[in-house]
Structure 1
Amino acid sequence: MSHYEPPLIDAHRIIGGRSYDFSRRVAVMAIVNRTPDSFHDRGRTFALGKATEAVQAAAAAGADWIDIGGVPFAPGPPVSIEEELDRVLPVVQAAQGLTVVSVDTYRPEVAREVIKAGAGVINDTSGLRDVAMADAVAGTDAALVITHSLAAPRTLHPSPRYGDVVAEVGDFLRARVQVALDHGVRPEQLIIDPGPDLNKNTGHTLELSRRLPDIAGLGYPLLAAVSNKDFIGEVLDAPQRERLSGTLAAVVFWILRGARIVRVHDVRAAVEAVRMTEAMLGYRAPAYLQHNI
């Protein structure tokens, strides 16, 4: 399988004060959740001390970005804006200077505060369901991730139906990108995420994976949020804690199909898989040359 080189709009980006050339680089985004009910962590980093330790460990393992979440996308008990800020702001502050800080939120009020605190990325899993999110990011230096989903966060959406999942996801992202642009967000701020498993079954996510160039071809850096998701578990018949190999395979496949940012739980393994993939694509030189020299 030949790899796909997406026709990127503004491949050279300054994000969180750091320079990225997405024509030659894949960024690894580590996940740190300050939630008691995240689908994979199950509260492992809910305590502030544990979250801070996870941030430091992710940076030491080579993460380019750290994505901090205070409210899961999946249904669960309500979390107020104030509580979400109480969860994420201390972690944003703890991550300053270590790496690029991203915050996973769909609330404009939270986005404004974390950008002030130094967040360089807003990861909006709702796909600008509240257009005020675009206003919160416009005029700042923060990047904005726009994600496809059918339902609002914290909402059940069983048995999703699509005529052509790839075409519909592409149309959604194209329309929401235009909303962001109309509200003053600059093209070089935008990142897209087709939302694997978000209101999609395993068949939908596998189809998205196979035809990912149709989405990456929109021209904005594409984020692969595939880590430990249920489509991997259903393909491999693997429980939640036994999906690392499947995750790494999915990460590499999505890079070859055009992804330029990968969002992962197991940072060191993903960093090594990504850096090896970059080297084999000719994007990165080896750390050293000794064998048969």
Structure 2
Amino acid sequence: MKIYANGKCLDLSAPQIMGILNFTPDSFSDSGRFFRLDKALFQAEKMLNEGAAIIDIGGESTRPMAEEVSEQEELQRVVPLVEAVRERFDCWISVDSSKALVMREAAKVGMDLINDIRALQQPNALQAAAELGLPVCIMHMQGQPRTMQANPKYTDVVQDVLAFLRNRSAECIAAGVRKENLIWDVGFGFGKTVQHNYQLLQRLTTFCEDGYPLLVGLSRKSMIGAVLDKPVEERLIGSAVGALIAAQNGARILRVHDVAATADALKVWQATINA
């Protein structure tokens, strides 16, 4: 299983780590610690040295109750950082955005992968993704970030999420997105209760059967905090264990804050497999 962009190939036969780089003043986890270009670049280099293959740049916080960011503000945050990372590092660059113009402008300066929590449902996003021809991750979310955790309900969370991803993939392919460019994300924490999240994690292999690579992002989220009864800054081990379970259940890309710990967990698992 491989994906291609800008003359590069990312081999997904083994799980790859995507390091989170929130270029916002209000992200739920790092509280804007990297909201300066020099600090953001230092953090990108650190994550790459620790084992990340992808840097995921986001200019809008998508935590519950997050305020929306204007298109212009997101452009001003994301595009210079993508350009700076591309100039300095030989890595895959993902951009976490739902806005068509952000996708187009980021692609001009070196973006390799679109990571859209709204599954290309915002105005002109689907057309932009089809025209750019880059890999794109579509995610399931019930509701919108400001309201998604109010009262999530499903008939069967696994089957409901699976049906959405299948239907949306068909729509993307019909609009010109190549099937081999699609990646799925079940959307841990996006309109799901703690129980919903763990049901999805337990049955993650169900989502592998359609042949799309799975991206999983549960790092430091409330599903970890609820089990451990610990604040965000004390969820490293829980997050690494969650990432390892996801990998064992078929995840090909692990979106994480703590790259070194995740890489260590994967190395021990891989050594066990290889033994």
Q: Specify the TM-score bucket, using the shorter chain as the normaliser.
A: over 0.9
Alpha-carbon distance in 2 for matches of 1:221, 1:131: 25
Counterpart for residue 120 of structure 1: 112
Residues 36-80 of structure 1 show CA distances to partners (whole Å, capped at 9, x for unaligned) of 111101111112221121112112222100000000113333321
Alpha-carbon distance in 2 for matches of 1:41, 1:211: 30
Counterpart for residue 3 of structure 1: none
Alpha-carbon distance in 1 for matches of 2:126, 2:68: 23
Counterpart for residue 13 of structure 1: 3
RMSD (Å), alpha carbons: 1.6
Cα distance, 1:251–1:156 mapped onto 2, change above 3 Å: closer
State the one-letter code of the partner of 1:45.
Answer: F
Residues 224-248 of structure 1 show CA distances to partners (whole Å, capped at 9, x for unaligned) of 1010110111011111111111111
> Does 1:160 find its partner at 2:139?
no
96-105 vs 151-160, which deviates more? 151-160
Q: State the TM-score, normalizing by the size of structure 2.
A: 0.94
Deviation at 1:157, TM superposition (A): 4.2
Aligned 1:104-143 pairs, distance under 5 A: 104-130=96-122, 132-143=124-135
Counterpart for residue 189 of structure 1: 181
Counterpart among 53, 65, 69 of residue 54 in structure 2 = 65
138-147 vs 249-258, which deviates more? 138-147
Counterpart among 235, 252, 264 of residue 260 in structure 1 = 252
Counterpart for residue 150 of structure 1: 142
Alpha-carbon distance in 2 for matches of 1:70, 1:192: 21
SS for the counterpart of 1:263 is strand
Alpha-carbon distance in 1 for matches of 2:222, 2:149: 15
Counterpart for residue 74 of structure 2: 84
Tell which has more relative contact order, 1 or 2 (C-alpha 8 A, sep 6+). 1
Contact 1:126-1:153 within 8 A present in 2 as well: no
Q: State the TM-score, normalizing by the size of structure 1.
A: 0.88
SS for the counterpart of 1:206 is helix
Unpaired runs of 5+ residues, structure 1, are 1-10, 286-293
How many aligned positions are there? 272
Deviation at 1:277, TM superposition (A): 2.3
Contact 2:189-2:223 within 8 A present in 1 as well: yes
Percent identity over the alignment is 39
Counterpart for residue 193 of structure 2: 201
Counterpart for residue 169 of structure 1: 161
Contact 2:148-2:190 within 8 A present in 1 as well: no
Deviation at 1:18, TM superposition (A): 2.9
Deviation at 1:268, TM superposition (A): 1.3
Alpha-carbon distance in 2 for matches of 1:148, 1:98: 30
Contact 1:129-1:152 within 8 A present in 2 as well: no
